Homo-oligomer: A and B are copies of this chain.
Amino acid sequence: MTRIDGRTADQLRPITIDRGWSKHAEGSVLICFGDTRVLCTASVTEGVPRWRKGSGEGWVTAEYAMLPRSTNTRGDRESVRGRIGGRTHEISRLIGRSLRAVVDYKALGENTVVLDCDVLQADGGTRTAAITGAYVALADAVGWAQEKKLIKSKAQPLTGTVAAVSVGIVGDVPLLDLCYEEDVRAETDMNVVCTGTGHFVEVQGTAEGEPFSREKLDELLDLSVTGCAQLDGAQRKALGG
């Protein structure tokens, strides 16, 4: 069996990570998973939200959004509707949690990093591309803050790396990194966030059609770990490591 775009079941789409895309942000990355393009910027500010003041600890948070015509059909702007939809909320929270899993707040000191992940073009896997790109933007922002002496600790604020990939079952076959057409047809859809050491930060699997068995779940988890390892390589290469 070959996939719509000719890939094998366990193959990622072409991944590009373009650092320093924006001249303003402390870290910025245009990441592509095939035709999915997400602009990830990291903004550093001194100080932390009120509930954290005086703790000596930093904070990292994320906001995700899609441009109205990043998708096949134009979607209304959430700013115009006056409220953020459930899906947006959910993904913003997922990105924030995923990155915080590798942050040492003490080492970061009372600084805040906001990761903005804006989908310029969507073709499946926008949230996983966002996490993978945001990690690189965060690494750059942390480097900038260390250079500017905003971060004073000798300990590294990043205790590891994170990347994310989608997996799913399409026509009973587990596939890695679904494009939009595959995603629409998937019976099961799973997003997995892993550290560079192959441990799990998040596992979110959903039966879109038939509920899935433990065996299928195991196959999907195996596939996701492989995918995340390759993304980890791409991140290291982009960061010149």
Which A residues lie at the B interface, using CB under 8 A?
Answer: 22-25, 28, 35, 39, 41, 43, 45, 63, 65, 67-72, 74, 77-80, 82-90, 92-93, 97, 101, 114, 116, 118, 120-123, 160, 190, 194-195, 197, 199-207, 210-214, 217, 221, 225
Q: Are A25 and B200 in contact (CB under 8 A)?
A: no
Indicate if the CB atoms of B43 and A74 lie closer than 8 Å: yes
- Contacts A200-B207, A203-B203 supplied; 9 other A-B pairs, CB < 8 Å: A24-B71, A25-B69, A28-B69, A45-B74, A63-B68, A120-B120, A199-B211, A200-B217, A202-B206
Contact A67 B23 (CB under 8 A): no
A226 to B194, CA, bound (A): 27
The answer to whether B211 and A74 touch across the interface, beta carbons within 8 angstroms, is: no
Do A90 and B86 have beta carbons less than 8 Å apart?
yes
Tell me whether A92 and B82 are in contact (CB under 8 A).
Answer: no
Interface of A is mostly: mixed
Say how far A141's CB is from chain B's closest CB, in angstroms: 11
Q: Let me know if B79 and A65 touch, CB within 8 A.
A: yes
Q: Which residue of B lies closest to A204 (CB)?
A: B204
How far does the Cβ of A121 sit from chain B's closest Cβ, in whole Å?
A: 6
Which B residues are CB-close (under 8 A) to A22? 69-70, 120-121
Tell whether, in the assembled complex, residue A116 and residue B63 are in contact, meaning their CB atoms are under 8 Å apart.
Answer: no
Nearest chain B CB to A224 CB, angstrom units: 11
Establish whether residues A201 and B195, one from each chain, have CB atoms under 8 Å apart when the complex forms: no
Known: A79-B77, A211-B195, A211-B199. A69 touches B43 (CB 8 A): yes
A70 close to B24 (CB less than 8 A): yes
With contacts A69-B22, A69-B116 taken as known, whether A86 is within 8 angstroms of B77 at the C-beta atoms is: no
Task: For A24, list chain B residues within 8 Å (CB).
Answer: 69-72, 121-122
Tell me the complex Cα distance, A190–B200, Å: 12
Within the complex, the shortest CB–CB distance from A68 to chain B, in Å, comes to 5
Q: A67 contacts B217, CB within 8 Å?
A: no
Contacts of A72 in B (CB 8 A): 24
